[in-house]
Amino acid sequence: MSMRRIGMILRFPMLVPVVSALLGATPSSLAQVPAPPSPRPGQIVVNGALPDEASKAALLARLRELYGVELVVDQLTIAPVSVPPNWNAYLQKLIQPNLKLISKGELKVEGTSVSVRGEVANEAQRQQLASEMASSLNASYTVNNGLRVSAAEQNLLDTTLARRIIEFESGKATLAPSGKSILDEMAAALLKVNGKKVEVIGHTDNTGVRERNLALSLARAEAVRSYLAGQGIPLTQVLVSGQGPDRPVAENAHADGRARNRRIEFRVAQ
């Protein structure tokens, strides 16, 4: 009987982790493994093939320890698969508590090749997870870090700004009262982005000389940073830049379009 190379996929498709494990399958044989049913939120579905009952019991015990007995659904089978040396021990090390930090992704192990992808809350978590995985394996394993920082913080800033314009006095970098009111809300939102750096980007319409517009857009971004500092946001958390008229979001031929182009953007720095 031909031997298949052992492999595993742990999937995290929801914010409440949902895991599906596929073991004992190379890419060419993935289609031969039945797909698991759609899991309930928080449920851990484990399916695929392992070389023996001891390996299966060890994997299930580790998953149940991590996620809880009631959430792990066993769909594993036993089949002839070739196993790299100490593969089960390394698998145990990979199934670590910090896997719960990942959402909308997967941990995939095929022989000595490991890849991880999905969303985490910040850059520190992204690097920490990849480092912990690499340090738990020997030199024969390779780890591909495909994790990305979650867009949740950016969505929070976009929702708070809600397409409103932070207004300044005409031709100046002096905030209007309405602009200060919006920035009060933005300051509260910035306190929720876990200390990540945020770029404040100033824009203008195309009226007048470009060089002056570039300088004005930067001055307005700096005015926003100064105001936020007064609301308790550290200056070191806020980066500033001025794009002048170079990135319009509307036509400058009409007054409404020019008003939309005179704006401040907030971008979470990746």
The CATH code of the domain that includes 185 is 3.30.1330.60
Residue 203 is predicted with a pLDDT of 93
Q: Write out pLDDT tens, residues 244-258.
A: 998 888 889 999 889
Range in 5-19, 67-81, 108-122 with the lowest mean pLDDT: 5-19
Residue 227: pLDDT over 90: yes
pLDDT classification of 75: cutoffs 50, 70, 90: confident
Residue 64: pLDDT over 80: yes
Mean pLDDT over 173-187 rounds to 95
Owning domain of residue 234 = 153-268
Tell me how many domains the chain contains: 2
Mean pLDDT over 123-133 rounds to 85
Mean pLDDT over 58-86 rounds to 83
Q: Write out pLDDT tens, residues 19-44.
A: 334 333 333 333 333 444 555 556 67
The answer on 10 and 142 residing in a single domain is yes
The answer on 40 and 135 residing in a single domain is yes
Give the residue carrying structure tokens 């006095």: 169
Which residues are within 8 A (CB) of 71 and not within 5 positions of it... i.e. 6 or more apart? 42, 43, 44
Residue 145: pLDDT over 80: yes
pLDDT classification of 56: cutoffs 50, 70, 90: confident
Contact 72, 87 (CB under 8 A): no
What does residue 163 show for φ and ψ, rounded to 5 degrees? 60, 15
The CATH code of the domain that includes 76 is 3.40.1520.20
**Domain end position, chosen among 149, 183, 214:** 149
Contact 137, 129 (CB under 8 A): no
The answer on 8 and 128 residing in a single domain is yes
Distance from C-alpha of 106 to C-alpha of 117, rounded to nearest angstrom: 5
**Domain end position, chosen among 149, 178, 200:** 149
Q: How many H helices and E strands in the chain?
A: 7, 12
Query: Does the reported pTM lie above 0.85?
Result: no
**Domain end position, chosen among 149, 176, 207:** 149
Residue 131: pLDDT over 70: yes
Residue 7 is predicted with a pLDDT of 56
The answer on 178 and 72 residing in a single domain is no
